[in-house]
Structure 1
Amino acid sequence: MKNAFWRRFCRNKGAVIGLGVLVWVALVALLGPLFLDYGPWDMVDAPFLEPLSPDGRWLGTDTMGRDIWAGLVHGARVSLLIGFVSTVVSLLIGVSLGAIAGYFGGWVDAVLMRFTELFQSVPSFALAIVLVAIFEPSVASMVTAIAVVSWPPVARLVRGEFMALRQRDFVSAALLAGQSTPRVILTQILPNAVSPIVVMASLMVASAILLESSLSFLGLGDPNQMSWGYMVGTARTVMRQAWWMAVFPGVSIVLTVLALNLVGEGLNDGLNARADGKR
């Protein structure tokens, strides 16, 4: 099974490249700070040093003399942390509500779907701004805000999968064998619905990183944590004078989000057994 998954995944060259980019970003986030003698907020040199400067600041410095490379390294940690944690929280909420709505149906489904539509009726970015503004800007508040605006699509996807699977023979057999409802949901239906959830999760991480970058760009990020969005935001007033301040974190955001989308396509191919017949 695993060999078949990797065979289908590796046939998608874009997915392999995307996975390589993600591994590189993860290694930079985890190991990069160990090779730096200073933090992202430290003024280590003169302001506005250009990339590949003679004194070793190979990505240059910003308006305060802070090293751009140090900012990228620590920003990768923040972006990946918020992206993955908010996605996990969104999945916990969305999968739980979607599974209950799809399995029981009837008035339970109607109530939970109206509740879901309530969140979908408000633009997600606007709602995230309001939630972060209400609470003190921090990593925790950003994770909460992004999770709150991200779970409704998961709930609708899981609901559809459960509605399709609950009528299958293996579910009826499990109920006749005396298995409890929670056990049927967790051990019989959910494993058969996991493929589309995994694919959506990879795309949700990309969306969460974009949303975090947008909030930080607007000054709603954690003031104690360096992030790629904050770096782009501080550079918008000096674009002509110091282009590298916005270009390097901007490229980092684009490459990471693109890599996640490519990996999502590869996961879709790898988890879809019909892909063998299409190639």
Structure 2
Amino acid sequence: MNIIKTLSQNKVAMVGFAVLVMLILVAVLGPYVYEGTPWKMVQRPFIPPFENSSYLLGTDILGRDVLAGLIYGTRISLLVSFVSTVIALLIGIPLGAYAGYFGGWVDEVLMRFTEIFQTVPSFALAIVLVAIFEPSVYSITGAIALVSWPPVARLVRGEFLRLRNQEYVLAAKLNGQSNRNIILKEILPNSLSPIIVLASLMVATAILLESSLAFLGLGDPEIMSWGYMIGSSRTVIRQAWWLSFIPGVAIAVTVLALNLLGEGLNDALNPKLSGKRES
């Protein structure tokens, strides 16, 4: 409750939270409330925003409804980013936990394995993975997850190295608790604060990765996304600048909201910052 109270007092974080909630509502309810479709040609191409009341954000290069594309793109961008982040956490947390808790050769093997994925830049590796498995929402989600888990593993490892010799952990060992129970019930709950903060930032990074892949033509050709909208209109940016500008603003606002929320969570969950604030 103290964390929620502290977070609610952070106006900047609450702005980010409100924007994120609004985007989630658009992603969930938008396609059902708004009758437009992002693929159907509904009017002549290049209608500017607010010129036609039936198509508030105008039409694109093929005469498709830009607002419909933006709404459907919200669903895909958020879905890919959230799912890929969850997968990355499911990979990174166990590896980091075992490496930090057991140490020794287990730590060496798992960390060397982690470094293999960090020798290649994340974006370059994501491009290679998507190209190998052919562009689809599944390959994009999987590729983003595979390039996102190493920082999670390293963070969790550091937290477990810090906490594994705490008194409550030693007491649990003396009581005969299994390593599995100690990891899941004693150490991991006390390591969640930095993991939650990192996860919020990972979602923002995943949105940028998905948009970048779609911009390069490696998005799912059957699914509308913000990156696809920017990529398909980059050749007409002088003639119809708004076609790239509108989805670009959507990406920027979403990433900014997630970063603001992440900073607010960091302030609320970091005991040192909380102590300074109380004093």
TM-score of Structure 1 vs Structure 2, range by shorter chain: over 0.9
1:191 & 1:251 partners in 2: Cα distance? 37
**Structure 2 matches for 1:1-279, cutoff 5 A?**
2=1, 4-279=2-277
1:181 & 1:107 partners in 2: Cα distance? 17
> How many Å apart are 1:6 and its aligned residue?
2.0
Structure 2 residue runs of 5 or longer lacking an equivalent are: none
- Compute the RMSD of aligned alpha carbons: 1.0
> How many Å apart are 1:244 and its aligned residue?
1.1
Structure 1 residue runs of 5 or longer lacking an equivalent are: none
1:55 & 1:203 partners in 2: Cα distance? 37
- SS state at 1:92 partner: helix
> How many Å apart are 1:178 and its aligned residue?
1.3
> How many Å apart are 1:29 and its aligned residue?
0.8
2:7 & 2:53 partners in 1: Cα distance? 44
CA contact (8 A) 1:10 1:266 kept: no
Stretch deviating more after TM superposition (37-46 or 136-145) = 37-46
- SS state at 1:274 partner: helix
1:273 & 1:156 partners in 2: Cα distance? 21
- SS state at 1:117 partner: helix
- SS state at 2:236 partner: coil
> How many Å apart are 1:55 and its aligned residue?
4.2
2:274 & 2:201 partners in 1: Cα distance? 23
CA contact (8 A) 1:217 1:232 kept: yes
CA contact (8 A) 1:61 1:68 kept: yes
- SS state at 1:57 partner: coil
Q: Deviations over 1:41-85 (max 9, x none)?
A: 111111110111234211000011101100000000000000000
One-letter identity of the residue aligned with 1:250: G
One-letter identity of the residue aligned with 1:48: F
> How many Å apart are 1:152 and its aligned residue?
0.5
CA contact (8 A) 2:52 2:58 kept: no
2:52 & 2:263 partners in 1: Cα distance? 42
> How many Å apart are 1:235 and its aligned residue?
1.1
CA contact (8 A) 1:206 1:261 kept: yes
1:110 & 1:20 partners in 2: Cα distance? 43
> How many Å apart are 1:218 and its aligned residue?
0.4
CA contact (8 A) 1:83 1:205 kept: yes
2:168 & 2:174 partners in 1: Cα distance? 10
**Identity level (%):** 64
One-letter identity of the residue aligned with 2:258: L
One-letter identity of the residue aligned with 2:209: L
1:20 & 1:128 partners in 2: Cα distance? 31
CA contact (8 A) 2:27 2:71 kept: yes
TM-score, structure 1 length as denominator? 0.97
Q: CA 1:259/1:251 → structure 2, altered by over 3 Å: closer, same or farther?
A: same
Q: Deviations over 1:154-200 (max 9, x none)?
A: 10000000011100111111111111111110000000001000000
Stretch deviating more after TM superposition (49-58 or 82-91) = 49-58
2:81 & 2:195 partners in 1: Cα distance? 16
One-letter identity of the residue aligned with 1:12: N
